[in-house]
Amino acid sequence: MSIGTKHVDLRQDHWPQITARQSQQCLIEVKVDNCIFCKIAAKQIPSGIVYEDEHLLAFKDINPAAPVHLLIIPKVHIDTLSAVEQQHTELLGKMLALAPKLAQEHGCAPSRQADGSLAGGYKTLINTGPDGGQEVYHLHMHMIGGPKPWRGQR
Catalytic residues, which ones? Answer: 140
Q: How many helices (H) and strands (E) does the chain have?
A: 3, 9
| The CA-based dihedral angle spanning residues 103, 106, 108, 114, taken in that order and rounded to the nearest 10 degrees | 110
Q: Is the dihedral of CA 11, 94, 89, 126 positive or negative?
A: negative
- Please enumerate in sequence order all residues whose Cβ is within 8 A of that of 23, keeping only pairs 6 or more positions apart, or say none: 10, 12, 15
- For β-strands 141-145 and 122-125, DSSP reports them as antiparallel
The DSSP letter of residue 63 is: S
Q: Are 12 and 85 in contact (CB under 8 A)?
A: yes
